[in-house]
């Protein structure tokens, strides 16, 4: 079994880029999930699973009250996508 890593903002951004560049629908895939499958993340991959959703939420500008409150639920798909793309540009990641 591979060693668990700490989920960080940098890992989140890199994994978001993979999802967005693969033309997958953002709200059907979680950057923290194993193979990005499913809508909810796979907490057993990370040493800090309780911070995974917080890192994701803070990336798009809010602090989720409940761990499973992804940006797609908070904002709806299009707004979550728009905010994510804007933040990715700020981080100088090329998407699409």
pLDDT at position 69: 72
Q: How far apart are CA 36 and CA 12, in angstroms?
A: 11
User: Who has greater pLDDT, 65 or 81?
Assistant: 81
Q: What is the pLDDT of residues 20-75, one digit of tens each?
A: 888 778 888 888 887 776 555 566 788 888 788 888 889 999 887 665 678 888 88
pLDDT at position 2: 66
Supply the pTM of this predicted model.
0.83
Domains in the chain: boundaries: 9-90
Q: Are 70 and 56 in contact (CB under 8 A)?
A: yes
């Amino acid at each position: 079994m591979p060693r668990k890593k700490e989920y960080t903002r940098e890992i989140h951004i890199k994994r978001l880029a993979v999802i967005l560049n693969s033309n997958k629908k953002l709200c059907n895939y979680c950057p923290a999930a194993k193979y990005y499958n499913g809508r909810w993340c796979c907490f057993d991959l990370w040493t800090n699973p309780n911070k995974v959703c917080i890192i994701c939420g803070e990336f798009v500008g809010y602090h989720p009250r409940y761990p499973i409150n992804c940006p797609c639920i908070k904002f709806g798909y299009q707004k979550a996508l728009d905010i994510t793309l804007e933040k990715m540009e700020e981080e100088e990641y090329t998407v699409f």
